[in-house]
Amino acid sequence: MNTKTAVLKPSLLIFSALVLLTVHCTGVEKKETDMTTDGLVPTDIEGLQPIDIRAPAFFWLLQPWKEGTLVTIDGWGRFAEISFVGANQMRIRHLVNFPRMQLDKELITWPEAGIITARTSERMHHIAAIDDGITKTHIPLLTWNHIIASPVLLDPKEGLIGYTYGLDDGVDKKLFVYNYKEDRMIHESSEEFAISISIVMNEQYAMGQQGIMNGNRRENREVFYNWRNNEIMENDLTKFITENNLSLIIGPDRAIHIGRRYLIGSNMHLMDRVKITWDEEYSDIKMIPLSYLVPPGRGVSEFVLSSDGSWSTTFIRGYRGLRGERLYKRGFFHMDDRYPNGISMPVITEDYENFGWDYGAFVNHPVHGMCFAQEWYKGRTRYLRLYKMSEVLAEINRDMEN
């Protein structure tokens, strides 16, 4: 049984990087430049046949990047690129000699703007605008009393990034807008104006939450927010999310595709994962509970999406190990109108995994086409595992024919 134990110990990343390079990767070059491997390892999994490529060096976390590549963190704590050579080789090359620090579990990319961002446990944010040759480390708000939400890219042309800080009750929020090109904070919300943002929906508005008073209680409502003039707008989509108490974990590659107008969240009333769709006016809202996709006693976790919104993956819950420990399997879905509700039945992998957070990402492989890539371990050896979506689609088509 394979498990992803190493990702659960980010505090050891930099301090143990050199040791891991020696222990986990035989034949690794000692220099810090390009490292390549042709270590294709066959698997004994029935059904889907993933490709396991032995990693030539330490890497941790995966995010989408430019065409055919991924972003990761290398053993020196730098933003690095994983690229592919032929069908069965991978290369790890650092993109910038930055930030060279012990990083937290958050790694976010905006490939369309050439930007990578991460955070340390000391609440420092690290930004690398690769295309512009800009790197910056800063702390928008030095506080241990607030929860830090994931940053949001507001305007790549101007270089604007939004940071939200909130108290544990989730109501009192503070928003900062930072211009990384000019290295200055251009906006800070007042104490009376509680607002958070989660993702930009169009040229004018980001979606987020506003804390409001309801009698003696403070509550959250979903809103569209214009960060340029502090304008708040509600529409059918935001009202629906508020009324149905939807819990959303959304981001550049997580659970929402703006172009195809759908998101996947949790309905706290139904206690079910749901798919929400809308039209070009953010109206005609449809909600589809997703429990029918898995057998009774199973459930789905947060979804990761491909950049074109055609593929998604999540952990399938409800499995138990020999000692009663909770285990998970990975499920893949094709997002297309040929299926009821625009989502296929899942193709589920054979291997069990321990659940922490999903650090995998979709990548358009130069040979295999669209794949899902994730860290994988066999004993103490690190691999990059690729699942080919062509095989997933073939499985779906066979099931539909039967």
pLDDT digits (tens), the chain, 402 positions: 443 333 333 333 333 333 333 333 322 232 333 444 444 443 333 468 999 999 999 999 999 999 999 999 999 999 999 999 999 999 999 999 999 998 988 899 999 999 999 998 778 999 999 999 999 999 988 887 788 888 999 999 999 999 998 876 555 788 999 999 999 999 988 877 889 999 999 999 999 999 887 777 778 899 999 999 999 999 999 999 999 989 888 777 789 999 999 999 998 888 899 999 999 999 999 999 999 999 998 999 989 999 999 999 999 998 988 888 889 999 999 999 999 999 999 999 999 887 656 789 999 999 999 999 999 998 889 999 999 999 999 999 999 988
Q: In 3D, which of 166, 167, 237, 169 has the Cα closest to residue 197?
A: 166
Q: Identify the pLDDT of residue 356.
A: 59
**Predicted pLDDT of residue 20:** 35
User: Mean pLDDT score of the chain, rounded to an integer?
Assistant: 85
Q: What pLDDT, on the 0 to 100 scale, is given for residue 45? A: 39
Distance CA 391, CA 353 (A): 20
* Three-state secondary structure readout of the chain: CCCCCHHHCHHHCCCCHHHHHHHHCCCCCCCCCCEEECCEECCCCCCCCCEEEECCCCEEEEEECCCCCEEEEECCCEEEEEEEECCCEEEEEEEEEEECCCCCCCEEEEHHHCEEEEECCCCCEEEEECCCCEEEEECCCCCCCCEECCCEEEECCCCEEEEEEECCCCCCEEEEEEECCCCEEEEECCCCCCEEEEEECCCCCEEEEEEEEECCEEEEEEEEEECCCCEEECCHHHHHHHHCCEECCCECCECEECCCCEEEEEECCCCEEEEEECCCCCCCCEEEECHHHCCCCCEECCCEECCCCCEEEEEEEEEECCCCCEEEEEEEEECCCCCHHHCCCCEECCCCECCCCCCCEEEEECCCEEEEEEEEEECCEEEEEEEEHHHHHHHHHHHHHC
Q: What is the pLDDT of residue 171?
A: 59
pLDDT in tens, 98-155: 999 989 888 999 999 999 999 987 789 999 999 999 999 999 888 877 888 889 999 9
pTM of the model: 0.86
